[in-house]
Amino acid sequence: MHKTRTTYFAFTTATIIAGLLSRHINGVPLFVGDILWALMVYFIVRFIFISQATKLAVIASLFFSYGIEFSQLYQAPWINSIRHTAIGGLVLGETFLWSDLLCYTVGIGIGVGIDWLIEKKSHLLH
């Protein structure tokens, strides 16, 4: 399978669906949603920067994900009102947790692994 924007769009869509479902299925730990959130960020970055190296996607994804997490240390009323909406809560989160940084790293690592598998499969087919 060749990496295309269509591929990353499909991966992003599937990850969003899995992430939303993970919040509504009993027994799925909350950290799974955080991992899927970072995986989605990685796929979006790959979609936007399709021709760039994986290293750039990793750095940009980590920078964005960590930035969102650290922004949760800022608790002004105006941003908290955004965070308390459904979409604002999903995008910006609400509470800073160090463990979320680990989840984001794992999610982005999974994205790199998926990219590696796609590349490996592509080489086997050619």
The residue segments making up the domain with residue 70 are: 5-125
Q: Which two tokens stand for residue 102?
A: 């680990």
Per residue in 66-85, pLDDT tens?
Answer: 999 999 999 999 999 999 99
Please give the model's pTM, rounded to 2 decimal places.
Answer: 0.90
Q: Return the number of other C-beta atoms located less than 10 Å from residue 84's C-beta.
A: 11
How confident is the model over 14-42, as pLDDT tens digits? 999 999 999 899 999 999 999 999 999 99
Which of 44, 41, 21, 43 shows the shortest CA–CA distance to 33? 21
Closest C-alpha to 40, from 65, 15, 21: 15
Q: How many domains does the chain have?
A: 1
